[in-house]
Structure 1
Amino acid sequence: MKLLVVGSGGREHAIARKLLESPQVEQVFVAPGNDGMTLDGLEIVNIGISEHSALIDFAKSNDIAWTFIGPDDALAAGIVDDFNQAGLKAFGPTKLAAELEWSKDFAKEIMVKYGVPTAAYGTFSDFEEAKAYIEKQGAPIVVKADGLALGKGVVVAETVEQAVEAAREMLLDNKFGNSGARVVIEEFLDGEEFSLFALVNGDKFYILPTAQDHKRVYDGDKGPNTGGMGAYAPVPHLPQSVIDQSVDSIVKPVLDGMIREGRPYLGVLYAGLILTKDGPKVIEFNSRFGDPETQIILPRLTSDFAQNITDILAGKEPDITWLDAGVTLGVVVASDGYPLAYEKGVALPEKTDGDIITYYAGAKFAENSKALLSNGGRVYMLVTTADSVKAAQDKIYKKLAQQETAGLFYRHDIGSKAL
């Protein structure tokens, strides 16, 4: 069969590469993809994620069995609804179901209604009201743009002044456009963060290995939030009892609640959780795979990913199997200046082979050449599997030290929380 993946980043590279491993899969197309993906035999298609009609036409004319939707903004724009209305299968939630991600206020309402543990909060569109709430609650406190902001619309403020300034930038200065027209202001939760993913069809769901992302741009969790600078899976110091509790108190009630709300969920549910002294609580929900967690979770999958998704779409019980030993770890290499202004066109090292995988997020061939150049904030990611976090770190950082990374940078402590 032939499959289509919608998106262009490292997440989509990992999804498409894993799908292509299936003996049942003849071709995997990625729209719009990036040039680095072609080095793994993937075929990129010059159609943007917002061009739903063109994507539907492509899927029909190329006999695509089903389409995997990667990015949050495509889901929020109703791409799955459009595919379904055209009689095509797509793996991802409808626009109404994806509101769990594209409106933090909606997600909070669902959690409160169905008894899911999360931080106390208030939602505001008026700056003066938001300021008064912040001053009453004190700091530390968290200010979030209600809508999608490419992983950058969250400010963990250590002082009241920082929180008020964040609210001002979102509500008055329009820093995130319509996404910040409302803000959700949350109680700061103290504890260890982890990511829990599930493949879902209605009330049936299948839990993936836990992962831990590193959002801050610099070593030691310093600097602004990014889309993610690296990750590892599973989280070795997280007991199974915490995962079981998370499933029972968070995943099940949310999915049941979505059915009751008339928004049954299909696709990947990503719960960003924090283990507090009172147990696991929700920081956020995403309606798709995370990036960079996808790149370190999917290499641990030992079953046929294409068959697994085919079965879930058909309402059948999938046979999903995972590596049961070792740790998979990955480090993102980004352009100097990211997540703020950055240069493009930096020459990239050769693609790694063997037991270190290269996933490309922002890469483009030089004109009239097969030399890869940087073309985004996050550029590529090196991923490996080893017996322990330390062994995986040693392999990745040894390889990175051998690469020419002028004009690029990376964190040097991915996975160190597990040591």
Structure 2
Amino acid sequence: MKILVIGSGAREHVLARELAQSQRVETVYCLPGNPGMTLDAIQTVAVELTDFAGMIDFAQQNAISYTIVGPEQPLVAGIVDAFQTAGLTIFGPTKAAAALEGSKTFAKEIMAKAQVPTAGYQTFTTVTPALAALAAQNYPVVIKADGLAAGKGVVIAPDLAVATTTIERFFEQGVTSILMEDYLSGEEFSLMALVADGQVYPLPVAQDHKRAFEGDLGPNTGGMGAYCPVPQVSAAVVQETVDQILQPVVAAMADVGTPFTGVLYAGLIATKAGVKVIEFNVRFGDPETQVVLPRMTGDWAQVFEQLVSHKTPTLTWQTDGMTLGVVVAAEGYPTEATVPVELAPTSQFQAATSQFSFAGVAGTQDQLIGTGGRLLTAVVTAIDLPTARQQVYADLKALAQPGTFYRQDIGHQALT
């Protein structure tokens, strides 16, 4: 069969590579993809993420068996609806269901209906009342842009001055609504699940590192690294999360007329009062996907084929070892514009111990150029976390290029 993956980042690179390993699969296309994906015999297609007609035409002309969507933007814009109207098989939420990520206010309303624990919040649509409300806040306070922001629309404001600046900046940038949330303290973790026909199939837990710099300092990013499994999050906590958060939310979505199919990502925090929701996404996380998907010992192409055929997926997981992923980004990410930077020759990436998935790159198979933002993720699976860290950081040190940076403490929570 032929499979189409929508997206161009490291998440989509890993997804396409895992699908291509199946004996069931003839070709995996990634649209638009990036030149780094061609190192794994993934065929990239130069069609923009906003060109639904072009995507549909490609899928029809190439007899695509099914399509999987990586990034949130086309999901929120209604790509699933468009494909289904054209009679094409696609795995993901409809436009209405994708509002669970596209609108943080909608997500809060669903959580309230499902009686799911989350931070207390207020919503503001103009700057004056938002600023007035700051006087009554306990600090730190969390301020979120109510819409898609590629993981960068959240600021944890430590004091009144930073909160004021953040609110003014969001509204100046054209944000039409913000949320002001209570700050939650505890152990953060990510739980992704495949959802189809009202059933929830959880994947192993991962832990993301959102801040740009070591010690969890600096601005929020789309994610600077992750590891899986997370030893400090017990199996009992995971089961509690599935039973008390994911299943009720899926049921609530159906109750309000927006049944959910696709990947449900829960950003969670284990507090002294139990597990609470930080955010929901409606697609695979990035960089969590890079460390979770390779731990499945079965056939990913079969899993998605089963899901779109209304069958129970066959999910089998590696139970030992640790998978660690470290993101390399362009200097200045996520706050400053960056200039293109020449990466190490691809022959050096292919000779390394780590497995690489590429994101913000251009160039050729022989020489990739970093174009800005997150450039790539290096992933190692080893017997334990210290060994994985040693291997991945040795590779990154050998491949380091001026104009790039990466955090050197990914996984520190599991070590302490």
Q: Same fold (TM over 0.5)?
A: yes
Q: Secondary structure at the match of 2:284?
A: coil
Corresponding residue of 2:83: 83
Residue segments in structure 2 that go unaligned for 5+ positions in a row: none
RMSD: 1.1
Deviation at 1:130, TM superposition (A): 1.0
Corresponding residue of 1:99: 99
Deviation at 1:348, TM superposition (A): 3.0
Q: Judge conservation of contact 2:142–2:154 (CA < 8 Å) in 1.
A: yes
Q: Is residue 276 from structure 1 mapped to residue 274 from structure 2 by the alignment?
A: no
**Separation of aligned partners in 1, 2:231 and 2:383:** 11
**Separation of aligned partners in 1, 2:101 and 2:283:** 9
Corresponding residue of 1:359: 357
**Separation of aligned partners in 1, 2:236 and 2:367:** 48
Amino acid at match of 2:393: Y
Q: Secondary structure at the match of 2:342?
A: coil
Large movers: runs of 4+ above 6 Å:
none
**Separation of aligned partners in 2, 1:275 and 1:135:** 28
Deviation at 1:346, TM superposition (A): 2.1
Q: Judge conservation of contact 1:202–1:259 (CA < 8 Å) in 2.
A: no
**Separation of aligned partners in 1, 2:325 and 2:351:** 15
Corresponding residue of 2:242: 247
**Separation of aligned partners in 1, 2:410 and 2:138:** 31
Amino acid at match of 1:365: G
Q: Is residue 44 from structure 1 mapped to residue 44 from structure 2 by the alignment?
A: yes
Deviation at 1:404, TM superposition (A): 3.5
Corresponding residue of 2:397: 401
**Separation of aligned partners in 2, 1:407 and 1:162:** 29
Deviation at 1:249, TM superposition (A): 1.2
Corresponding residue of 1:190: 185
Q: Secondary structure at the match of 1:64?
A: coil
Q: Is residue 292 from structure 1 mapped to residue 287 from structure 2 by the alignment?
A: yes
**Separation of aligned partners in 2, 1:58 and 1:403:** 37
Corresponding residue of 2:340: 344
Amino acid at match of 1:114: A
**Separation of aligned partners in 1, 2:295 and 2:414:** 18
Q: Judge conservation of contact 1:36–1:372 (CA < 8 Å) in 2.
A: yes
Deviation at 1:354, TM superposition (A): 6.9
Q: Secondary structure at the match of 2:168?
A: helix
Q: Judge conservation of contact 1:361–1:376 (CA < 8 Å) in 2.
A: no
Q: 1:334 to 1:372 in 2, by over 3 A?
A: same
1:228-283 CA-partner distances (Å, limit 9, x unpaired): 11000010121111111111111010000001111111110000000100011000
**Separation of aligned partners in 2, 1:376 and 1:169:** 23
Q: Judge conservation of contact 1:8–1:34 (CA < 8 Å) in 2.
A: yes
Deviation at 1:355, TM superposition (A): 4.8
TM-score, length basis structure 2: 0.97
**Separation of aligned partners in 2, 1:116 and 1:133:** 25
Q: Secondary structure at the match of 2:350?
A: coil
Give % identity: 49
Q: Is residue 64 from structure 1 mapped to residue 70 from structure 2 by the alignment?
A: no
Corresponding residue of 1:33: 33
Corresponding residue of 1:370: 366
TM-score, length basis structure 1: 0.96
Corresponding residue of 1:111: 111
